[in-house]
Structure 1
Amino acid sequence: MAGRLKAPTGRYGGRSAEDRQAERRRRFLDAALELFGGAPGYRGTTVAALSQAAGLSTRQFYEAFRTLEDVLTALHLEVNDWAERAVLDALGTAGELPLAERAAVLFRAYARGVTCDPRRIRITFVEIIGVSPRLEGQRLARRARWIDLIRAEADTAVARGEAAPRDYRLAAAAFVGSVNGLLHDWSAGWVDATLDEVVDELVRLLLGMLRPEGWRPRDV
């Protein structure tokens, strides 16, 4: 569609046009989580099917979004935001714990935030891949945020004498890839383990990265 339809203005039923538009947008995103994150997936969904699942019209779709890719873009950001908020909330309560305990709290928060709904896993690790250069850029940008978070935690551990001092850029990128791959495989049923066992393994990987053989923590 070349242009975007204008949304209605004014109040109706005591609610503003902005409130009604926000509600419709929410309904489209909820429907997209169901269809994109389950069956038939992003590539098998049409505007008509998404509108029907949301209980809205295709005209209302084009008042809220331009394309289905715009819906997937918004949904991918939202799913990542949910996981990021869970980790930051956990960090606020675990900031003074010893490194091993702190890492366990953070990864458990991330793992539960991502895996609590299989549809979130599919949006994050499957449906987003190969859609367009724009979405690939967004995926890599969000991945970079997780890498930066791991690097910041590593630097904090170094300052506390809990980790060996070095540049953790490559190590953080490799670790984030391991986290995403393991959680995807676990959610797909390819890993015979509990979520707590997966988190424990990730903590061991992180500690091995931060504390190479022969290195010992020091008192600060």
Structure 2
Amino acid sequence: MAGRLKQPTGRYGGKTAEERQAERRQRFLDAALQLFGDSPGFRSTTVAALSEAAGLSTRQFYEAFRTLEDVLAALHLQVNDWAETAALAALADVDGLPVAERAAAIFRAYAADVTSDPRRVRITFVEIIGVSARMEEQRLARRARWVDLICAEAEAAAARGEAAQRDYRIAAAAFIGSVNGLLHDWSAGWVDATLDQVVEELVRQLLGILRPQGWGPGRS
């Protein structure tokens, strides 16, 4: 298909064309969360099947998206936005508290949001892998946002004398890899622990990075 079909204009049912289009786009994303995040998965879903699940036509699909990969890309961003919003809200609630409490709040909120729906876990950690170079770039870009958040928290803690003064970027990247792997394995039933225990372990790991053996307040 050369491009998207022409968009309708004008009001209908009290809504603008843009509002109706946004609603249809979200219906496709909601359907994709079910089909991509559960069964049959992204690689086995067709445009026709997704349109049927959304209660819309394939013509309306091509008004909103070019390809199914575009849907996966938008859904991956949406799921990550939900988790990021939850983490930042929790961080705002513990403003001014020590780094241990801040770390616990961030990862408790993130873990609770991501694992609240197994379909979100699959979209975040499974379905996006190996799809295309474009999707890998997007996955790494979103992962870099979490690395930036950890680095910012670590540097702020160091400035307050609560953590070692160092370049945290490599350590933060390694830690985010641990977070993703552990939450995926826990959600899949491969880790025999409660979610609180998983979060406690992640916080211990992060504090170990921030406060390595031999470090103490006043030391670099």
TM over 0.5: yes
TM-score range, shorter chain: over 0.9
Instruction: Give me the whole-angstrom Cα distance separating, in 1, the residues matched to 2:155 and 2:61.
Output: 46
Unaligned runs of 5+ in 1: none
Equivalence for 1:95: 95
Spell out structure 1 runs of 4+ moving beyond 4 A.
none
Cα deviation, 1:84-132, whole Å, max 9, x if unaligned, reads 1111111111121111111111110110111111111100000000111
Equivalence for 1:143: 143
Equivalence for 2:13: 13
Deviates more, 1:160-169 or 1:11-20: 11-20
Q: Residue type of the partner of 1:118?
A: P
Cα deviation, 1:120-148, whole Å, max 9, x if unaligned, reads 11000000001111111000000001001
Q: Residue type of the partner of 2:45?
A: T
Cα deviation, 1:181-213, whole Å, max 9, x if unaligned, reads 000000010000000000000000001111111
Unaligned runs of 5+ in 2: none
Instruction: Give me the whole-angstrom Cα distance separating, in 1, the residues matched to 2:126 and 2:44.
Output: 14
Deviation at 1:10, TM superposition (A): 1.4
Instruction: Give me the whole-angstrom Cα distance separating, in 2, the residues matched to 1:23 and 1:176.
Output: 34
In the TM superposition, 1:54-203 aligns within 5 A as: 54-203=54-203
SS of match in other structure, 1:189:
coil
Cα deviation, 1:9-32, whole Å, max 9, x if unaligned, reads 112122211111111101000000
Instruction: Give me the whole-angstrom Cα distance separating, in 2, the residues matched to 1:20 and 1:193.
Output: 44
Deviation at 1:71, TM superposition (A): 0.3
Equivalence for 2:25: 25
SS of match in other structure, 2:215:
coil
SS of match in other structure, 2:207:
helix
| TM-score, length-scaled by structure 1 | 0.97
Instruction: Give me the whole-angstrom Cα distance separating, in 2, the residues matched to 1:217 and 1:112.
Output: 32
Deviation at 1:218, TM superposition (A): 4.5
Deviates more, 1:171-180 or 1:7-16: 7-16
Does structure 2 conserve the Cα–Cα contact (< 8 Å) formed by 1:162 and 1:218? no
In the TM superposition, 1:15-54 aligns within 5 A as: 15-54=15-54
| TM-score, length-scaled by structure 2 | 0.97
Number of residue pairs matched by the alignment: 219
SS of match in other structure, 1:33:
helix
Q: Residue type of the partner of 1:92?
A: A
